[in-house]
């Protein structure tokens, strides 16, 4: 939860609503937005089977294109498959590093252990 005193202090110093949003709220919400983006990315990657089974052969998501290219080539996939896989891996790695820059997983685990949620 964001402290309401930050908004009050910004108002006292004459900040407009848009300046308060961009210079106070966005930096405070940044780690949460990045963590949510990373979770959405992981969830999207995990949906390969659903896309593959429901979309059929006309689907051209990157994961499905990689799958078809590997099995269409036989034993050795062409360089285009290697390039697609490297781009896919690089994008995933960049998002992971950005998220880890702002969210420390050990702090999240220790915070959960210190304040466990009551079971209802």
Residue 36 inside a domain? The answer is yes
Any alpha helices (H) in the chain, and if so which ranges?
4-12, 17-20, 26-46, 48-55, 62-73, 79-102, 105-114
Residue 1 inside a domain? The answer is no
- Taking the complete model, does pTM exceed 0.85, yes or no? no
Containing domain of residue 35, as a range? 31-114
User: pLDDT confidence of 14, banded at 50, 70, 90?
Assistant: very high
Residue 19 inside a domain? The answer is no
Question: Residue 41 in contact with residue 89, Cβ under 8 Å?
Answer: no
Q: Number of structural domains, the chain?
A: 1
CA distances from 103 to 34, 48, 77, 97, 120 (A): 8, 27, 37, 10, 29
Residue 119 inside a domain? The answer is no
Residue 46 inside a domain? The answer is yes
For 34-89, how does the pLDDT look when each residue is reduced to its tens digit (9 = 90+)? 888 888 877 777 666 666 666 666 667 676 677 777 777 666 666 777 787 788 88
Residue 51 inside a domain? The answer is yes
């Amino acid at each position: 939860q964001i402290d309401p005193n930050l908004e009050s202090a910004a108002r006292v110093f004459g900040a407009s609503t848009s300046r308060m949003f961009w210079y106070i709220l966005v930096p405070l919400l940044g780690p949460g937005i990045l963590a949510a983006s990373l979770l959405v990315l992981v969830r999207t990657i995990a949906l390969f089977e659903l896309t593959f089974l429901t979309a059929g052969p006309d689907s051209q998501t990157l994961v499905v294109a990689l799958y078809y290219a590997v099995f269409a080539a036989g034993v050795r996939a062409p360089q285009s498959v290697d390039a697609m896989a490297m781009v896919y891996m690089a994008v995933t790695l960049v998002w992971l590093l950005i998220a880890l820059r702002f969210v420390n997983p050990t702090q999240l685990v220790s915070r959960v252990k210190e304040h466990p949620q009551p079971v209802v």
